[in-house]
Amino acid sequence: GENVEQHPSTLSVQEGDSAVIKCTYSDSASNYFPWYKQELGKRPQLIIDIRSNVGEKKDQRIAVTLNKTAKHFSLHITETQPEDSAVYFCAAPFNRDDKIIFGKGTRLHILP
């Protein structure tokens, strides 16, 4: 079925430490994996994405890794800052990219 599993649902890390959020997907044909950040009362904002022809992508403190064989991908945030506190969603396309399904989200708390 069309499924994106995301873990953990809640994550608390000390400011300056790293945070890792993991997702698995069910459609082996999926080839594009975006991550969105949603702050309270705002729209989801794309923060990074990865396509299936690469295994890792970095953008400053944010990185995403992809393991197509295992059908999982992860978001890594290093040197976390208070403004990283938000809900993060992973997503994956199904049915030849026509339907993008989201995970249930991870609420990230950055502790002072």
Partner 1 sequence: DAGVTQSPTHLIKTRGQQVTLRCSPKSGHDTVSWYQQALGQGPQFIFQYYEEEERQRGNFPDRFSGHQFPNYSSELNVNALLLGDSALYLCASRRRGGGQETQYFGPGTRLLVL
Helix, strand or coil, per DSSP, at residue 83: helix
Here's the x/- map for partner 1, 40-59, by CB under 8 A: it reads as --xxxxx--x-x--------
Q: Which is nearer to partner 1, 8 or 16 (CB)?
A: 8
C-alpha 92/C-alpha 2 separation (Å) is 9
Q: Binding to partner 1 by residue 99, rule CB under 8 A?
A: yes
Q: Which is nearer to partner 1, 19 or 101 (CB)?
A: 101
What is each CA distance from 100 to 46, 55, 74, in whole angstroms? 13, 20, 17
CB 78, CB 61: distance < 8 Å? yes
Q: Which of residues 74-93 bind partner 1 (CB under 8 A)?
A: 89, 93
Tell me the window of 15-23, 32-40, 62-70, 72-80 that interacts with partner 1 (CB under 8 A): 32-40
> In which residue are the tokens 């997907």 written?
25
